[in-house]
Structure 1
Amino acid sequence: MFRQVLLGLGIMLLGVTSEAQDTVNLKSRIQPGMTPAQQLIANTGEDLLTGNNAGHSQTVISGYGQGSYQRDFQYQSSKINLDRVVLFVGHQFNNNIAFFSELEVTDARVENGKPKGEIGMEQAYLKFSLNPRQYFVAGLFIPRIGILNENHLPTNYNGVERPLVEQLVIPSTWSEMGIGFYGQMSTLPIAYSIAALNGLDASSFSHGTGIGGGKGEGSFANANNLAFTAAVKAFVGDFQIQVSGYAGGTIGASHYTADSIGLQSGMFAAPLYLGEADVQYSKAGFTAKLLGTYISYPDAGDINRAYANNTPSAMYGAYAELGYNFFETIKSEAFDNKQLIGFVRYEKLDLNSKIPENGIYDGTLKQSHLIAGLNFMPIPNITIKADVRLTSTGPLNKALQINPPPVSRIYPEQNQFLNIGFGYSF
């Protein structure tokens, strides 16, 4: 059996090697049609500067943004929002050192004392190139986990909303302070990364929101705990295949504070583990994406006793998406650089797939979503989107209901949403 596995791996690597005549420039296979600012961007996605495309002392200002309208058919309510406007500033100091930053404003405005809107740095880091294939980053950056984190521009994904699995299970635009090492192999079309970051803060976990509330995001984050993340991405024909993982402590409190509430302390106290795998395919107008992720949190019971935040000990999510550009086969100058993409995506997730003895199961967190829609791109950096989302969840646990009906509305286990939006990048 072991020999058969080795033989299979050898055949696969031989096939990969035959396509790897020049792997120094993988970015051309990942992100075609870059904006001027994105031409500063390194090897994967949109968020890493490269010295190869920037001259000495070059500064670039760019950005992206999106707005949306949503109709909730069960509650007969609608909302419209400028979701985010992001300003990109990058600077190439010399051939080896560059700076990258993203400043984000969400929900259009920030008002004192009102729980809406946010201004924050999404990323701000230095990049030190060792050679054309390897570099370090240091500062506030997004590690390579999932598909969306490095491809979060609205022109880079289908649908008005970002995939829910990559919002609720894997936090989207998950930025932390740390250092990272990125590279690609010289003889194989394989990219890799490893990073050391500040860990999550379990005291900020909130029921029903996954682990996103525990992000530090560079704002006075506890540095008593540590986390590591790593990823490997292979390019085989028209496929991109990635495996990534995260492991880190979640107790940022001091030894004295942790001991006083019955928790362990240290860099890896109350560890949380996340694993993720994804496959992307693109050819002749067809695209396909498949992603699965799982989170294990063995010490969730201790966290619940200390913070009473009903933290689960496991959660998972997965989605599959198919898309097609209907303008792909039209041979006319009028359709050059235009796209009309139809897509369908199915997502399934459970934010409390396993709970500790002191946890309360919430059926509403076991969800499935079917999304279908259209993206029209009159030029590569503008998108107009519309889609319908059909949502199905489990029942609401009455033990979690503060105001039961008729004081509050009956929770709908089936719901439908209409989304319309726009996005841009430049």
Structure 2
Amino acid sequence: MKRFLLLPIALLLVSAPGALAQETTLGGYGELHYNDPEGATPGELDFHRFVLYIGHSFNDWISFASEVEVEHVYLSDEGGPGELGIEQAYVEFQPWDSYGFRGGIVLIPVGIINPIHEPPTFHGVERPSFHRIIIPTTWREAGLGFYGMPFEKVAFQLYYTSSFDANGFSLSSGLRGGRTKAAEPKTSDMALSGRVDVYPTIGLIVGGSFFTGSTTRGAEELGDGTTTILAADARYSIGDFEFRGEFANISIADTELLFEERGISVAEQIMGYYIEGAYNFLPLLFDETAQKLFVFARYEGLNTEASLGEHLEETGRYDRTEITLGLTYKPTTNVAVKLDYQIYGNGVDDETMPGYIRSGADGQLNAGVGYAF
């Protein structure tokens, strides 16, 4: 008899108010890329990213969010092309309607795309190169954050986290190789970062963000390598038109010491920007449709040698420009089919030099499909 009484008691416990408040959410995003550079380099197909989101609400004010990412399909003991990592994983406490805290692995809130980078949210098969060469997306760190909305049209985020490792800095890629990816970062290098978003009118978002922190892992002979990013961005949508732009300025201290002690070549100042416009022209062909077909254009300026110390010589090779022209078809909100062509250039006058140092070609054709749910 006792055994049969256990079932209704268990059902009562599961149906208690605290249990009902708990909920687990599954989501994710991914993207397949086809990249075909000009010249002798063959094209490539790559399922670039496969990301699973797992979230859980413990009650009405404590929750958990996480993303696990596989890049380039697989990895193995033999050194496959892929990478497996935790993109974010944090516990969030929101005891007030407009304010909250989070702690764990978090996305640094600098720029537009690092915090929000699902494929249907941006035009182009590849993310803007600004978010690879200047702001090293995807960029996460371990630490604590405070966020809120003190006014109806103003929101902010503020984080105290781990920082870069200057041993990975370079002239060609700037800060990108210095990301620790929150893998046992040293507490000798900590950073402060933040973001403010203002919503002055319908369709317009204006943002400003910053990051500053030491980067030399406590090595006294290198100084502190303080790295500071100041960034601004804006997004505006009206009718079938979309516009966005971003700018960032990066300063790095003690670059001469990095060169003398470790042979690390990196600029004292890095600068970059892009402007982009898009137009959904499908309503011109079909009056009543929820689907969208955008034509877009983007221009980028990316200079990872904007200002060099006396120990380095400017070449113009890393003062790059990029033009992207393409189409984005969205049959539904969270699916995007993309096609574009990119034209590369730099500050080198010698025509025998490659126009773009990553591919060694003057242009590249891209196609892809992405989703988020």
Question: Secondary structure of the residue that 2:354 maps to in structure 1?
Answer: coil
Tell me, in whole angstroms, the C-alpha distance in 2 between the residues paired with 1:396 and 1:251.
Answer: 36
State the Cα distance separating 1:135 from its structure 2 match.
Answer: 0.6
- Tell me, yes or no, if structure 1 residue 122 matches structure 2 residue 87: yes
- For residues 70 and 120 of structure 1, what CA distance do their matches in structure 2 show? 24
Q: CA deviation at 1:298?
A: 2.6
SS in 2 for 1:234: strand
- 2:333 aligned to 371, 380, 387, which one? 380
**Does the alignment pair 1:224 with 2:188?**
yes
Alignment-derived partner of residue 199 in structure 1: 163
* Count of residues in correspondence between the two structures: 348
Structure 2 residue 160 is the aligned partner of structure 1 residue 213: no
* 1:411 to 2:340 alignment: no
**For 1:396 and 1:303, how far apart are their aligned partners in 2?**
29
- Give the drift of 1:411: 2.8
Residue 48 (structure 2) aligns with: 83
Structure 1: distance between partners of 2:71 and 2:264:
26
Q: Which residue of 2 aligns with 1:112?
A: 77
Residue 150 of structure 1, aligned match among 85, 94, 115 = 115
Higher strand share: 2
One-letter amino acid of the structure 1 residue matched with residue 234 of structure 2: V
Written as runs of structure 1 = structure 2, the 5 A alignment for 1:17-416 is 56-114=21-79, 116-186=81-151, 188-237=152-201, 238-253=203-218, 258-259=219-220, 262-264=221-223, 269-328=224-283, 332=287, 335-336=289-290, 338-395=291-348, 411-412=354-355, 415-416=362-363
Q: CA RMSD in A?
A: 1.9
User: What one-letter code is carried by the residue in structure 2 that aligns with 1:227?
Assistant: A
Q: Which moved more, 1:112-121 or 1:342-351?
A: 112-121
- Asked if the contact 2:247–2:273 (Cα under 8 Å) also holds between the matched residues in 1, the reply is yes
Q: C-alpha distance in 1, partners of 2:231/2:283?
A: 32
Provide the rounded CA distance (Å) in 2 between the counterparts of 1:163 and 1:151.
13
Identity across the alignment (%) = 28
Where does the alignment leave 5 or more consecutive residues of structure 1 unmatched? 1-54, 398-408
Q: Over residues 60-113 of structure 1, what are the superposed CA-to-partner deviations in whole Å (9 max), with x where a residue is unaligned?
A: 111100011111113352111110000000000001100000000001111324
Q: Is the 8 A contact 2:255 2:266 kept in 1?
A: yes
Unaligned segments of structure 2, at least 5 residues: 1-19
Partner deviation per Cα, 1:170-198 (whole Å, 9 max, x = no partner): 11121000111110124x40001111011
1:52 maps to: none
Distance 1:139 1:306 in 2: 33
Cα offset, 1:331, TM superposition: 6.1
User: CA offsets per residue over residues 124-164 of structure 1, 9 Å max, x none?
Assistant: 00110021111111000102110101220000000001011
